[in-house]
Amino acid sequence: MLELTFLGSANAFATGGRYWSSFLANGRYLFDAPPTLLPHLKQLGTPLTDIEVVFLSHFHGDHFMGMPFLFLEYIYMTERRDDLFIVGPPGVERKIEEFAQQCYPEVTREAGYRRRYIEAQPGADQYVNEISFRAFPMNHVPETLEPFGYRVHVGDRTVAYTGDTMLCDEILELAEGADALVLDCTYCEGGGPEHMGIDDVRVIRKQVAAETTIILTHLNGEPDVAGLENVIVAADFGSYRFD
Ligand SMILES: [Zn+2]
Ligand SMILES: [Zn+2]
C-alpha cells in the first residue's frame, strides 16, 4: 500500500493561497521540506518520529528551509532516538547543517539521534534505511543548481517525484514502473521556463504507462486536466492511496 499525503501543492509564491509543495509517503518518507513543514506535519497529526527519510530535490528555499525547525523540534519538544536519513544533491550535509546552525546554533547539540546524509548518485540503485531508490538528474536552473528526481520503492509500491524541472527525457526513466508520478506542473498554461506546465503534462501522459497515476503539484493556479486520463491535481492536505 502506498499513501501520499500533501503538505502543500504550490510553487515558490504560494499562489492562490496554496502552501509550498511537499508530500509524505506512508507517513515515513518525506519529499521536500518547505518552510511550513513543521506546522503542517502537526496539523496532519503525523507522529514526528515516524519520519525516517527526507528526500530533498534541490536547494531552493521552498524545498529545504523547513529542516531547521524539524531539528529544533527534536531537541526541545519531541524525543527522537532513531537515525534521520536525509538524501539530497551533492553537498547536502554541509548545506543543511550550515543553514540549520545559522537559524538555531543549538542544532549541533547532542539530541539522542543521528542525522545521516546520503548524496544522490544517479545511474545506480541506492539504499537508505532498508528501502531502495534511484536519483535522476533533472533540468531546472542548470547554471546554479543540481536538481534531482527520485524513484523510491515503498513496500510493494513505487513513487516517483520530479522536484522542479523542465520537460526532459529523464522524466520518462524516472516514471518507469511507478504507481504514482508526482510532477512539477507550475504553469496552468503552456510550459517553461525552469518548470513544466500543462502542455508538458499532455506530452508526458502520452509517454508514461497509462496505469501510472500522475499527480500535479508546485502549481501556480488550477490546471485544467479535462481529457487527461489518470491525472490528479494535488490538494493541500489531500491524501491519495494506491492499494
Ligand atoms: Zn520550487
Ligand atoms: Zn526550484
Q: Please give the distance, rounded to the nearest whole angstrom, from the Cα atom of residue 81 to the centre of ligand 2.
A: 32
Residue 99: which pLDDT band, with cuts at 50, 70 and 90?
very high
What is the model's pLDDT at position 229?
97
In 81-219, which ranges are E strands? 84-88, 115-119, 126-128, 131-137, 148-154, 157-161, 180-184, 213-217
Ligand closest in space to the Cα of 146 = 2
pLDDT of the residue at 19 = 97
Residue listed under C-alpha cell 489518470: 230
Q: How many domains does the chain have?
A: 1
CA nearest neighbour of 185 among 199, 205, 171: 199
What is the extent of the structural domain holding 162?
2-234
Residue 170 scores a pLDDT above 90? yes
**For the purposes of burial, counting CB atoms within 10 Å of the CB of 96, is it exposed (0-12), middle (13-18) or buried (19 or more)?**
buried
Interval between CA 90 and ligand 2 midpoint (Å): 16
Q: Mean per-residue pLDDT for 44-56?
A: 97
* Percent with pLDDT over 70 in the chain: 100
The pLDDT confidence band at residue 192, using thresholds 50, 70 and 90, is: confident
Residue 239 lies in a domain: no
Residue 234 CA to residue 182 CA, distance in Å, equals: 9
Ligand nearest the Cα atom of residue 194: 2
Distance 109 CA to ligand 1 centre (A): 30
Residue 176 maps to which CATH number? 3.60.15.10
Confidence of residue 155 (pLDDT cuts 50, 70, 90): confident
Cell of 66: 523547513
Is residue 51 situated within a structural domain?
A: yes
In a domain, 242, yes or no: no
Sheet holding 84-88, edge to edge: 115-119, 84-88, 53-55, 29-31, 22-25, 2-8, 239-242
Does residue 241 carry a pLDDT above 90?
A: yes
Q: What is the mean pLDDT of residues 204-226?
A: 97
Q: Give a yes or no: residue 241 inside a domain.
A: no
pLDDT for the residue numbered 207: 97
In angstroms, rounded to a whole number, what is the distance separating the alpha carbons of residues 99 and 120?
A: 19
CA angle 73, 88, 59 (to 5 degrees): 80
